[in-house]
Structure 1
Amino acid sequence: MSLRSKLSVLAITLSLAVPTLAAAADLKLGYVDYQRVMLEVDDGKAAKARLQKWLESRQKEIDAEQEVLRKEKETLDKQASAMSEETRIQKATDLQKKIYDLAQKWEKSRSEAAERERKEMEPIIARIDDVIKTIADRDGLGMVFEKRDSGLVFALSQYDLTNEVIRSYNGGKGKAKDAPVAPKK
């Protein structure tokens, strides 16, 4: 390829890239620490408190059952020598079944807790997304990234919308219209 051909290809490439580069220069970005927003908005705090209370009550219930089984095992161990082989095997089998049932109950509680958390957080997440969208629309942001899950390694704090999202959510219960305009570049 001649020098003239190479220069022509370069000129065409640059002419195609310049509008793209200009558009990229006008692109405004922001990011949000979603996890922090969830922990700091009033609705998130209330939901977390409700979930924690439910989890604690379930844990107390399981702990009580576990203590009963522990005492039953101690009693079985003490009385095992006085029992017939058949009775000892039957009681040990019954105890194992109770332990298995308790383990199943614990596992069911874990999945139920995850489902409760999903149901509690779903409307809060939707409202947070609305606040973020309102702020992005108002400030002309082309993209808003989630700080932790986006692969974002570094960003200047001036692009962090987290505090504004929290203030807007708590102040307007999901409306960001009264939030002050933050300069974004």
Structure 2
Amino acid sequence: MTFKEFSMKKILVLVAAMMMSAQTMAVVVGKVDVQKVILSVNEGKKIKDQLKKTFDEKQKILKKEEDKIRKMQEDFKKQSLVMNDKAKETKQREIQENIIKLQQKTAGYQREIQELEQKHKKPLFEKIKAVINSVSKSSGVDLTIESSTAPVLYAKSEKDLTDEVIAAYNKKHK
């Protein structure tokens, strides 16, 4: 018997053993919608409220500046007929500079809110992950996936653990 024949026989025996064990072994797949958990647990709701409050405050500031620019544009439109070219150019440049400042401020606020969101959600996610592990073990699932990013197209046995995770998290982290 050559090495090649020996290896082929070994591979065939392994494949046959795997097929037999796969038929007798049922894998239970657990799934969790982590985004739903984040938005549903009490701590997640508090974070969402804090972020919304910060966002609304920033939005008010931006709205005031937007209104100021709009007023400048309207005034320019009315006065442009009686302005000389140099005054028109100066006023247009001033309006354009204010628009650029507003865009920069908007981008800065967006970054600030995203950083704030990451700062709060990262520790929350770590706690949620621990609860998912605990609920998965107690539910007897063999594998748990995040259902919104990796939906299970078919599984002989599947269990949605999302609501159990939410309840367990709120119970553990009051």
TM-score (norm 2): 0.85
Q: Provide the C-alpha distance between the structure 1 equivalents of 2:99 and 2:47, rounded to a whole number of angstroms.
A: 32
What is the alpha-carbon distance in structure 2 between the residues aligned to residue 116 and residue 16 of structure 1?
49
Deviates more, 1:90-99 or 1:153-162: 153-162
Task: Give the unaligned 5+ runs of structure 2.
Answer: 1-7
For the aligned residues, what is the CA RMSD? 2.5
Amino acid at match of 1:109: Y
Q: Would the aligned equivalents of 2:131 and 2:169 in 1 still touch at CA under 8 Å?
A: yes
Amino acid at match of 2:16: L
Find the aligned partners of 2:110 and 2:154 in 1 and give their Cα distance: 35
| 1:178 counterpart residue number | none
AA at the equivalent of 1:118: Q
Instruction: Name the structure 2 match of 1:18.
Output: 20
Q: Distance in 2 between matches of 1:104 and 1:146?
A: 36
Structure 2 residue aligned with 1:132: 132
Deviation track 1:65-92 (CA, whole Å, cap 9, x = no partner) reads 0001100111111111211110110111
Q: Aligned pair count? A: 166
Gaps of 5+ in 1: 1-7, 175-185
Q: Which has the higher contact order (CA 8 A, sep 6+)?
A: 2
Distance 1:167 1:82, change over 3 A: same
SS at match of 1:17: helix
**What letter corresponds to residue 106 of structure 2 in structure 1?**
W
Look up the equivalent residue of 2:136 and give its one-letter code: A
CA separation of 1:117 and 1:154: change in aligned 2, threshold 3 A: farther
SS in 1 for 2:153: coil
